[in-house]
Amino acid sequence: MVAIPSTPIDHIYSTENHMFSHEPVGRTYHRAFFYATGCSEAVLTYVPQDADGFVRAHMWIGAGQYSSDHSMCSSILPVHGFPGATHSLFVDAYSVLYYLRHSSLPRNQAIAVDHTHHCDLQWSGDVLVIKHIGHNFHTYQSMTYDEKALVDAILTW
């Protein structure tokens, strides 16, 4: 099977530029962390929210390079706090959007490799992390670079 190419940083910026020039005026955007396989670090990018309240995360993790392989399945991991810790609920919940492990997906180099021994998931392909308001998974809010250490810890726990 042919490996799927990684996502270069130029493609991320190109996707954002296309999005801002072709989306309807007044659309709501939320900043989210995008861990692209072609990048060595997470990028804070924009995710559009439709009028019906859903965010269009598929434009990041479900781009054409993955969607042509119908055997791959995207997944959402809801995160309320650190796994196994009953008293460490976060003020706001997060959703981690990713593809289930597949032989054609490259290993995600943007997620710290040396710390993933705690994590049951081995991240392959692109990963997007969205923040919610409180623990309501139907509401979204933008993230800042100040939250990167927490998000890195969530992904490598």
In-domain check, residue 2: no
Q: Please give the chain's pLDDT, 157 residues, in tens.
A: 344 454 567 778 888 888 888 877 778 999 999 998 878 889 999 999 888 888 887 777 755 454 445 556 678 899 999 877 777 789 999 999 987 766 677 777 788 655 444 555 568 788 999 999 999 999 999 999 999 999 999 898 7
Residues sharing a CB contact under 8 Å with residue 45, sequence separation 6 or more, in sequence order? 12, 16, 31, 32, 33, 34, 60
Let me know if residue 68 belongs to a domain: yes
Q: Within a domain: residue 3?
A: no
Residue 75 CB: number of other CB atoms within 10 A?
Answer: 11
Considering the entire predicted model, what is its pTM? 0.81
| Domain range for 150 | 9-20+27-156
Q: Is residue 4 part of a domain?
A: no
- Structural domain tally of the chain? 1
Q: 140 forms bridges with which residues in the sheet?
A: 132
Give me the DSSP letters along 35-85.
Answer: E-TT-SS-EEEEEEE-TTS-B-THHHHS-HHHHT-TT--EEEEEEEESTT-
